[in-house]
Structure formats: structure tokens, C-alpha cells
Amino acid sequence: MDPTILTALIGTGGTVVGGVITGAVVGRRLRRAQADHLAAQTDVLRQDIYQQVVADLRTELERLQTALRATSAEAERLRLRVLELESRVAQLSQAEAHLAAELRTTQADRDRLRADLAARDATVAELRAQVHHLELQLATQPSTGR
């Protein structure tokens, strides 16, 4: 064979063999690069998921803290309202005790005044009876010549 053709055939065969070897090496490197790329993407996804979970947990924590503050504020408002109502009940109890004492005093005064009125009514009735008796005496007495 012609050395040029032989060289061309050997060169072509070498290229084919070299291409197969090179293809195997390149395929291995490509798979390795794909595996490295996949691992890097997995790490990025893991980080994204972690950051999203952390953000969600922080948001939930803030919501719960806000709810706790609102609940605490409501509890404080109710505690103050209870104190206010207890104070008002104490004031009303004192006012009731004072009014009850005043009522007892007033009732005692009323009873005393009723007794006084009854005594005076008896005196008036007695005086009327005396006036009536005197009028009868005057009416039955002969008139003197005036």
C-alpha cells in the first residue's frame, strides 16, 4: 500500500482509537463534572430549604410573640379592670354601710317623732275635750245681764 494511504489509514484508525479513549476519558470527566454539579446544586437546594425553614420559623416566632404580647396586654387590662371593680365594690359596701346607719338613725328619729306626735295628738284631744266641756258649761249657765 501506498505509504500516504497507509499513514492516512493509521491516522484515521488512531483517531478512532484515540477518539474512543478520549471519549471514555471525556465521558468519565463529564460524569464527574455532572456529579460535582449535582452535588453543588443539592447543597444550594439544601441551603435554600434551610433558609426558608429558618425564615418560616422566625415569622411564626414573631407571630407567637405578638400574640403573647397581645394576650399579656389583655390579661393586664383585665387585671386592672378587676382591681377597679373590686375598688368600686368596696366603695359601694362602705356607702351601703353608711346609708344603712343613716337609715337606722332616720327610722329611730321617725319612731321618736311618731311618739311625740301621738303624745301631742293626745294633748290636743284632751284640750278639745276641755274646751267642749267649758263651752257646755257656758251654754248651760244663765246669762248674766250685761
Residue 77 CB-half CA count within 13 A: 6
What type of residue sits at position 108? Answer: A
**pLDDT value of residue 36:** 92
Residue 85 and residue 83: Cα distance in Å, rounded?
A: 5
Cβ neighbours, 10 Å, residue 90: 10
Does position 3 have pLDDT exceeding 90, yes or no?
A: no
Q: How would DSSP label each residue in 4-42? A: HHHHHHHHHHHHHHHHHHHHHHHHHHHHHHHHHHHHHHH
Whole-number pLDDT of residue 12 = 58
* C-alpha–C-alpha distance, residues 13 and 19, integer Å: 9
Q: What is the pLDDT of residue 24?
A: 72
Q: What does the pLDDT read at residue 8?
A: 61
In the predicted model, what is the mean pLDDT of residues 30-50? 93
The span from the CA of 31 to the CA of 13, in Å, is 26
pLDDT digit string (tens) for 20-37?
A: 566 677 788 889 999 999
pLDDT category at 142 given cuts 50, 70, 90 is confident
The whole-chain average pLDDT of the chain stands at: 88
> Does the pLDDT value for residue 115 go beyond 60?
yes
pLDDT of residue 124: 97
Beta strands in the chain (DSSP E): none
Q: Which residue has the cell 390579661?
A: 75
Distance CA 15, CA 112 (A): 140
Is the pLDDT score of 56 beyond 90?
A: yes
Higher-confidence residue of 10 and 142: namely: 142
Q: What is the pTM of this model?
A: 0.46
